[in-house]
Amino acid sequence: MGEASPVCSGYYSLNRSFVEPFQCPRRGDAAALRYCCGFADLKYCCGEPGSYFPYKHSYMWSLRQLKEENQNS
């Protein structure tokens, strides 16, 4: 997604419906959720640029940590 931004551009979701662009944080979100995060087909507001999933599963976070460890080696 490139540089951290407070604006999530419009995109097509997995079910091929268009999701309009939106500004972070969205109404009802915490003020700290000020970055657009996610993938080409799923975008959401988050508090850390480059985060992947706001879910309990940490698979993508594990990949990110592994990548960072390999870069520091």
In terms of pTM, does the model score above 0.75?
A: no
Q: In this model, does residue 44 exceed pLDDT 50?
A: yes
Integer Cα distance of 40 and 67 in angstroms: 21
Picking from 9, 10, 54, the residue whose alpha carbon sits closest to that of residue 29 is 54
DSSP character string of 6-37: SEEPPEE-TTS-EE--EESSPTTS-TT--EEE
Confidence of residue 41 (pLDDT cuts 50, 70, 90): confident
pLDDT of residue 48 exceeding 80, the answer is yes
- List, for residues 1-37, the tens digit of each pLDDT value: 456 789 999 999 989 999 999 999 999 999 999 999 8
HSE (CB half, 13 Å, CA atoms) of 47? 5
Q: What is the pLDDT of residue 20?
A: 97
Would the pLDDT of 65 be above 60? no
